[in-house]
Structure 1
Amino acid sequence: MVRKYVITGASDGIGAAVTRELLARGHHVIALGTDPAKGEALVDAARGTPGNVEFIRADLSLVATNRRVVASILEHHPAVDGLVLCARFIRSYRAVTTEGLEDNFALLYLSRVLFGYGLRPALENAARPVIVNVAGPGHDTPVAWDDLQSARDYDGVRAMFLASRLNDLLGVTFAQRFGDGPVRYVLFHPGTTSTGIVGEYDPPTAAYVEQQKALAKPASEVVPPIVRLLDDPPAEPLTAFTPYREIDLGGGLFRPADAERLAKITDELLDRVRE
């Protein structure tokens, strides 16, 4: 049976590897990325498979773009079987979008809020819908409640880890709000993987990134566990996994009170960001 999937960050790394596997299985993929050349490569790759792909070029660090793309997907695809969230862009220096939001916070966190909640109506029309949020759950980076957008003493790696922590709490909130519905929410940690690790780096960070890529496992190794989650979503409203084990959600990193606090801040912020 042909299924339909939306993948953000689909032109690089894990997102691209998952896209290619789904195409090989004959599925329909709506692939989002920023690089038109890499998007064309996905379209070319699809021609030799039983699947098909739509590539959408979009800068998902912008709230307005997320809202526009989500609305378009809903208009043209009333049912979506799965959503895989992979988009990220690491920066050594703090950057602010044209909407006034810190880039990591906007892309790695807010875009996943907007896509998960925004595509929920289409997901609920599928038989066994699932969201797989590839954001690295379980990292113990403290949540700086008074500095969620890393304005003080910016460090690109810490900002990325903070955004990952926010995604943990996003999963908790999604399950609280919609756990009685059919959509399963899965937080996925790929471990150290030789992905595109796309970003803008200072020279020491660039050297470190290249070293990590040389030592890391290829993206193809984390495709099977992600695809298994798409094929057979967990029964629970919220789960978290590494490629090899399930992560316990009972610790302090997934506190409902923290999730509620973040959800309130996020809802108020998004209400202020208008197209």
Structure 2
Amino acid sequence: MKTLVISGGTDGMGRALARTYLERGDTVAVIGRDKSKALPGAAFIPADLSLISENRQVIEEVNARFPVVDALVLCARFFRTHRFVTAEGVEGTFALDYLSRFLLSYGLTAPRLIVNVSGPGQPTGRVHWDDLMLERGYNGMAAQFQAGKANDLLGVAFAARHGDRTRYVLIHPGGVSTSVAGEYDEATAAHVEALKRHGLPVEEGIKPIVARIDNPPAEPLSAFMRERRIDLDGLSFDQAAAERLHSLTLQVLER
């Protein structure tokens, strides 16, 4: 029997993962905004994960209710063509796609495994060190790529601190036909519809994620493009950059 906590567990791959493990008889807690989407049998934890304050509330609740977590699975994401700033003053994609994953990763009490469903090792995109909130020339894809790069570095920094107790897995599931939640302009919406038509069915898309949950790698940090391992020697996993981002992230949280 396992205990899993899944962010974004009411839609898409997160929901499919929740169903898979509920059907096995495991304990599953899902974090989401709409209780009506939660699967019967799952513990529902309501939250807007783009808000730092609500992430902290989730952390308190999970630690109180589920002191032993076998797997924290990070799936929540939301694409925005136009720049959005949360009520706490944080750019929306950075807040949800990266900052929430940072908070949950470090906040839960010693999860045995963290699976960050992101896009590790991608050659495109960069961290905008002098403009993390993308105040100058915001672009939705640039925001997504920055979040992906930031999650690579999150894995590196986390493994350096807690790799002795928690395995951290970064995984790209490939093109999957999910709801692809977001607010899109016309051109991006057309691209999303093409992805839905040609992407893998959700049940197929989650298979490499299930494989990593069921058989976690031995290393403190690993990264995958579906079943294929990604080399951690590339610039995406630079230790100095990981420490730099860790420090900047703490500054954002302190503000």
- The TM-score normalised by the length of structure 1 is 0.90
Listed as ranges, the gaps of 5+ residues in structure 1 are 44-51, 124-128
CA-CA distance at 1:210 after TM superposition: 0.8
Aligned to 2:198: 215
What is the aligned counterpart of 1:100 among 72, 76, 89? 89
What is the aligned counterpart of 2:213 among 223, 226, 230? 230
- Is residue 2:51 matched to residue 1:62? yes
Aligned to 1:178: 162
Runs of at least 4 residues off by over 2 Å: none
What is the aligned counterpart of 1:150 among 134, 143, 146? 134
Aligned to 2:226: 243
CA-CA distance at 1:122 after TM superposition: 4.3
- CA offsets, 1:140-184, max 9 Å, x none? 21221111122121111220111010000000000111122x210
What is the aligned counterpart of 1:78 among 52, 56, 67? 67
Instruction: State the alpha-carbon separation in 2 of the partners of residues 76 and 215 from structure 1.
Output: 40
Question: Is the contact between residue 3 and residue 28 of structure 2 (CA under 8 Å) also seen in structure 1?
Answer: yes
Instruction: State the alpha-carbon separation in 2 of the partners of residues 223 and 209 from structure 1.
Output: 19
Instruction: State the alpha-carbon separation in 2 of the partners of residues 149 and 209 from structure 1.
Output: 24
Instruction: State the alpha-carbon separation in 1 of the partners of residues 42 and 36 from structure 2.
Output: 15
Question: Is the contact between residue 4 and residue 29 of structure 1 (CA under 8 Å) also seen in structure 2?
Answer: yes
Aligned to 2:21: 22
The worse-fitting range, judged by mean Cα deviation, of 161-170 and 210-219 is: 210-219
- Is residue 2:119 matched to residue 1:133? no
Aligned to 2:184: 201
Question: Is the contact between residue 66 and residue 115 of structure 1 (CA under 8 Å) also seen in structure 2?
Answer: yes
Aligned partner letter, 1:153: G
The worse-fitting range, judged by mean Cα deviation, of 190-199 and 93-102 is: 190-199
CA-CA distance at 1:262 after TM superposition: 0.3
Question: Is the contact between residue 74 and residue 122 of structure 1 (CA under 8 Å) also seen in structure 2?
Answer: no
Aligned partner letter, 2:178: T
Aligned partner letter, 2:58: V
CA-CA distance at 1:31 after TM superposition: 0.5
Question: Is the contact between residue 172 and residue 225 of structure 2 (CA under 8 Å) also seen in structure 1?
Answer: yes
* Paired residue total: 254
CA-CA distance at 1:35 after TM superposition: 2.3
Instruction: State the alpha-carbon separation in 1 of the partners of residues 252 and 185 from structure 2.
Output: 31
CA-CA distance at 1:97 after TM superposition: 0.2
Aligned partner letter, 1:173: A
Listed as ranges, the gaps of 5+ residues in structure 2 are none
- Cα root mean square deviation, aligned: 1.1
Aligned to 2:76: 87
Question: Is the contact between residue 153 and residue 241 of structure 2 (CA under 8 Å) also seen in structure 1?
Answer: yes
Question: Is the contact between residue 173 and residue 206 of structure 2 (CA under 8 Å) also seen in structure 1?
Answer: no
- The TM-score normalised by the length of structure 2 is 0.97
